[in-house]
Structure 1
Amino acid sequence: METRHHRPELWRLAQTPDRRRGWSVSGSIPKGWLNGCLENVVATISSGVSVNSEGREKAAGEIGILKTSCVTTGSFRPNEHKVVVPVEVERVSEPVARDTVIVSRMNTPDLVGASAYIGRDYADLFLPDRLWQVRPSKKATGRWLSFVIGSPAMRARLKAIASGTSNSMKNISQDGFLGLPVQVPPIDEQRRIATVLGTWDESIDKAECLIAAKQKRFSAVRINLVEALQVAARGNNSWRPIEFGQIAEELKQRNAAGHGPDRVMGVIKGEGLVPMRAHVMASDLRRYLMVPPRAIAYNPMRLNIGSIAASRYDEDVLVSPDYVVFRARKGRADPDFLRFLIGTKRWREHLIAVGSGSVRTRIYFDGLAEMVLRVPDVREQKRIGQMLAAMEEDLKATIEAASALRTQKRGLMQKLLTGEWRLDERFDAEALSPRALVVGGRS
């Protein structure tokens, strides 16, 4: 266990810029607030030890050791842990405790400094050495401290002070962490700030739960409507086997229209067709392939890892001449149904078979064309495609709403944690709730 107590004299040190650390605290602060460092509002920092563990969730009576991923989203995820092997149980030392902030002191450059508030005790979960458990001093509430540590401004500072010779792993020192400047409001105002921001966290958590439920439902419906019927013996299955080349056609049209760099796209796994940066495209775009609306494009060297996407643009776009472009054959396949066939078990099995024996797999359209799938008539395809597309759009809207909540919360944090907006005892929590601000409100 590693513990560090705060030193009260840092209140005086923080009144002037700390040139040694490269940070300074503004001399202009809200009335009643104090300039200080994190050390002034932190009582102790503790960490655990690394132990041998199994990569699964614990059962009743077992002990878990947290993974750094338990705080990467900004909310504590207790299921992100491993099971401590029995012979190592006596070595664990730091249980997860209520009203603390867990901080990832060692992680990748983007995730180092990630943190989350802990609202209750977890007697069967323990910290490894890469996570800190930060306890607030008497000058701070744990919830307010968690918002300060997790704020965009503090995350940027934590990232800046993280050190390490490896570009893939950075580490934050306790001295660097505790020396970071902070503006501290009175305890009562801290509680009011935490109350307001806490309502936003609750709304974001509810949105995330809704997203997870909709994703699960979408996957289940897709399996039931598309994947399950690839099996011939599935009930009264009238879907006929057909080669992929009979329902899809390759497109090889070049950029004869002379479209410019603003139309050049690339496939990013998980994001789809997105605009490419100018420095990664050729100066001459005449050989680039045209991708009409709803057509599908992929890089033949990355198809086996899922880098394939349908165009959602209303106009023709361009992709590299190294790509493959295809679309649903008119009268034989529905474009939405066709793209929902991508990624099915039968699709994945075919890619494995086509690429077997190759060190660097290139799968061109000819390799896809010979794949045998079971499909219904076009009318049924359209019905299924429309249903899944509607569910997909609903899921997308929920994801965008959650993103908007996070953006609004970041803006609100900037206002409240700097004292630009003050909350006295007369403040109306409802006026700063997501319901009041999320649409066209202040941010």
Structure 2
Amino acid sequence: ETGIYGHEFAVLKTSCVSGGYFYPSESKRIHPKDINQAKVNPSKDAIIISRMNTPALVGECGYVNENYKYLFLPDRLWQTCFRRAAKINARWLAYILSFNSYSRKIKETATGTSGSMKNIAKEAFLNIGIPLPQESEQTAIATALSDVDALIQSMEKLIAKKRVIKQGAMQELLKPKEGWVVKKLGEVAEIKMGQSPSSLYYNSCCVGLPLVQGNADIVDRRTIIRNYTSQVTKSCNTGDIILSVRAPVGEVAIASFKACSGRGVCAISYSSLFLYYYLIFIEPQWEKYSTGSTFESVNSKVISSLEINIPSINEQTRIATILSDMDAEITALEAKLAKYKQIKQGMMQTLLTGRIRLI
């Protein structure tokens, strides 16, 4: 694609490398007046290193598996160039440099007075010691780990595909149809606005109930435990729908456990999961309640008067079953993905430290 400047040339962002992986899509088009300054392309079988970045990201690297003639490195990225006599498998080295113990050593060499930006000196980077098995063993290790990587990437693509399919199913199933009736949310569900307890009663000792204050207490549309409170003002039950009433308004989740609900959320009780999926479907509608300020919120009157389209009970059950089955399948695949990643970490721990030898 030629992009906004009428050419294909792009410069990589420092975010193009992470955890041993190279992401060529992390790039931006070069302004025509700067094209002559673009000199170095990502090359096949090389490693790109972020020499200047935030403290958390400085030293990140990624293996390049092909040539990219339209991409260029900025001055904040290095690319390896191996000596002819060096017997190095670049993919193996990328795994070593991204392995926790060596990645940490690289980051520790970074200097800079700014708390937001650090820089690695080339001499310091080149002086980092690494174990060096024979090239044949490097290749065997790289092959074993790349096979697991391929499995992980295949699973990630499958999960992404399943999510797209589910999104399409939601669009089709939840779009109002003939026979559906319009009701106000307060007419069909019980709505309980949250109320924050005093911070004096917050604790991490499991005293009282978990506290759900807002979006910080929600991950992947499920409530998580960050804090407890011994002063329970308002509560939500396991399975209740949790709706964010403060910025960003309208985000939807499910209560994973009984909790104290703070003022940033409300709890909605309904007889089936249909309403949970329907509220996700209409999440974009809440944007109209943004007043242009940096902090937006809605009250119980607005929530209760929200108009929703409701089918028959049987249809609600059918829709909820289809979508919850899809969710269950995705959750199972995510569990497999987590297991594959765990296996890879175990392999890196044994293979890259020499605890298990492949040759």
Could you say whether these structures have the same fold, taking a TM-score greater than 0.5 normalized by the shorter chain as the test?
A: yes
Match of 1:248 among 189, 193, 201: 189
How far apart are the structure 1 equivalents of 2:346 and 2:3?
36
Q: How does 1:51-62 map to 2 (within 5 A)?
A: 62=8
How far apart are the structure 2 equivalents of 1:240 and 1:391?
26
CA contact (8 A) 2:193 2:263 kept: no
How far apart are the structure 2 equivalents of 1:388 and 1:112?
41
Q: Which residue of 1 aligns with 2:255?
A: 311
Q: 1:368 and 1:94, CA in 2 relative to 1: closer, same or farther beyond 3 A?
A: same
Q: 1:401 and 1:173, CA in 2 relative to 1: closer, same or farther beyond 3 A?
A: farther
Cα distance, 1:312 vs. partner?
Answer: 3.0
Cα distance, 1:94 vs. partner?
Answer: 0.8
Q: Which runs of 5+ in 1 are unaligned?
A: 1-53, 231-235, 425-443
Determine helix, strand or coil for the equivalent of 1:219: helix
Query: What amino acid maps onto 1:415 in structure 2?
Result: T
Q: Which runs of 5+ in 2 are unaligned?
A: 198-204
Q: 1:325 and 1:133, CA in 2 relative to 1: closer, same or farther beyond 3 A?
A: same
How far apart are the structure 2 equivalents of 1:101 and 1:320?
49
How far apart are the structure 2 equivalents of 1:164 and 1:418?
31
CA contact (8 A) 2:211 2:226 kept: yes
Q: Which residue of 2 aligns with 1:389?
A: 324
Q: Say whether residues 1:164 and 2:112 are aligned partners.
A: yes
Cα distance, 1:167 vs. partner?
Answer: 3.5
Q: Which residue of 2 aligns with 1:340?
A: 277
Q: Deviations over 1:71-118 (max 9, x none)?
A: 236432222221223332222111010011112223333332222211
Match of 1:114 among 60, 63, 68: 60
Q: 1:418 and 1:368, CA in 2 relative to 1: closer, same or farther beyond 3 A?
A: same
Q: Say whether residues 1:276 and 2:226 are aligned partners.
A: yes
How far apart are the structure 2 equivalents of 1:262 and 1:194?
50
Q: Which residue of 1 aligns with 2:167?
A: 219
Cα distance, 1:359 vs. partner?
Answer: 4.7
Determine helix, strand or coil for the equivalent of 1:122: coil
How far apart are the structure 1 equivalents of 2:193 and 2:314?
28
CA contact (8 A) 2:46 2:90 kept: yes
How far apart are the structure 2 equivalents of 1:275 and 1:72?
29
Q: 1:149 and 1:363, CA in 2 relative to 1: closer, same or farther beyond 3 A?
A: same
Match of 1:190 among 138, 150, 167: 138
Q: Which residue of 1 aligns with 2:353?
A: 418
Determine helix, strand or coil for the equivalent of 2:224: strand
How far apart are the structure 1 equivalents of 2:261 and 2:24?
44
How far apart are the structure 2 equivalents of 1:320 and 1:167?
36
Q: Which residue of 2 aligns with 1:402?
A: 337
TM-score (norm 2): 0.85
How far apart are the structure 1 equivalents of 2:17 and 2:161?
21
How far apart are the structure 2 equivalents of 1:409 and 1:101?
20
CA contact (8 A) 1:263 1:275 kept: no
Q: How does 1:145-156 map to 2 (within 5 A)?
A: 145-156=93-104
Q: How does 1:33-52 map to 2 (within 5 A)?
A: none
How far apart are the structure 1 equivalents of 2:116 and 2:275?
39
How far apart are the structure 2 equivalents of 1:131 and 1:108?
13
Q: Say whether residues 1:297 and 2:242 are aligned partners.
A: yes
Determine helix, strand or coil for the equivalent of 1:82: strand
Percentage of identical aligned residues: 28
Q: Which residue of 1 aligns with 2:11?
A: 65
Q: Which moved more, 1:357-366 or 1:181-190?
A: 357-366
Query: What amino acid maps onto 1:207 in structure 2?
Result: M
How far apart are the structure 2 equivalents of 1:119 and 1:59?
27
Query: What amino acid maps onto 1:400 in structure 2?
Result: A
- Number of matched pairs: 345
Determine helix, strand or coil for the equivalent of 2:22: coil
Q: 1:152 and 1:73, CA in 2 relative to 1: closer, same or farther beyond 3 A?
A: closer
CA contact (8 A) 2:14 2:50 kept: yes
Cα distance, 1:123 vs. partner?
Answer: 0.9
Determine helix, strand or coil for the equivalent of 1:304: coil
Q: 1:121 and 1:327, CA in 2 relative to 1: closer, same or farther beyond 3 A?
A: same
How far apart are the structure 1 equivalents of 2:170 and 2:5?
31
Match of 1:369 among 301, 304, 314: 304
CA contact (8 A) 1:299 1:322 kept: no
The CA RMSD over aligned residues, in Å, is: 2.9
Q: Which residue of 2 aligns with 1:41?
A: none
CA contact (8 A) 1:144 1:190 kept: yes
Q: Which residue of 2 aligns with 1:96?
A: 42
Q: 1:163 and 1:399, CA in 2 relative to 1: closer, same or farther beyond 3 A?
A: farther
Q: 1:348 and 1:73, CA in 2 relative to 1: closer, same or farther beyond 3 A?
A: farther
Determine helix, strand or coil for the equivalent of 2:131: strand
